Amino acid sequence: MAFTELSLHPLILKAIEEMGHTTPTPIQKEAIPSILKGCDLRASAQTGTGKTAAFVLPALHKLMTPAAKKTRGPRVLILTPTRELAMQIAVEASKYSKHLSKTKTVCIYGGIPYAIQNRELSRPYEILVATPGRLIDQLERGRIDLSGVELFILDEADRMLDMGFIEPVQEIAAALPASRQTLLFSATLKGSVINLSKNLLKNPLEISIAHAHE
């Protein structure tokens, strides 16, 4: 299978081609069609399987359709446990959206002065990549409106729970529209991750990809 068979927008395919990618990885091949159909999804995939593109590419495709509700906040929220991972995802999103002139990604995490992130949040943007603590801080300060979120992506859910973020994740999810689509990615799907997914996802599809280095 080639990326051109995945029904992604031509401008996204152009960026993929320029990055030298031709064939989707197993997680991308399995996840992207399901996400484009609007399904909730829980997926088991390790780092190194191409999972970031598996959710970023269909998220960008969805942004090519005008928003159902105009808000100052994001249409796509990607929640991740660490600043390093947040930065990596934001870089990937920017690369794949290089030809989408109206699509902007903002990344927020702890350890950076609020003034810098506040400037970013004050301008129009569609994708927000965030760590739980800083996102809740900014929500409490009234700087982020999550009422327009159409797609909520929880990445590395098992690490999120291991780091004690279950209550912040639930608090953030409660601030999102009930009509949203939700994707949960985790290295493993068991125990507390499954319990969390039952609270956040509606009739999810499940995908499990064996670990393989790119």
The single residue listed with the structure tokens 């493993």 is 188
Any idea how long the chain is?
Answer: 214
pLDDT digits (tens, 9 = 90+) for 152-190: 999 999 999 899 898 999 999 999 999 999 999 998 888
Lowest average pLDDT, out of 38-52, 118-132, 138-152, goes to: 38-52
Comparing CA positions, the residue from 140, 136, 138, 106 lying closest to residue 123 is 106
Q: What is the Cα–Cα distance from 9 to 62, expressed in whole angstroms?
A: 9
Q: What is the Cα–Cα distance from 5 to 75, expressed in whole angstroms?
A: 25
Q: What is the Cα–Cα distance from 127 to 78, expressed in whole angstroms?
A: 8
Name the residue type at position 89.
I
Q: What is the mean pLDDT of the chain?
A: 91
Taking the alpha carbons of 62, 56, 129, 185 in that order, is the dihedral positive or negative?
positive
Average pLDDT value for residue range 185-198: 86
The single residue listed with the structure tokens 């399901």 is 34
Contacts of 1 (CB under 8 A, 6+ apart): 23, 24, 29
With H, G, I as helix, E, B as strand and everything else as coil, classify residue 33. helix
Quick check: 136 and 166 in contact, CB under 8 A? no
pLDDT digits (tens, 9 = 90+) for 63-96: 999 888 788 889 999 999 999 999 999 999 999 9
pLDDT band at 214; cut points 50, 70, 90? very low
> pLDDT at position 211, please?
55
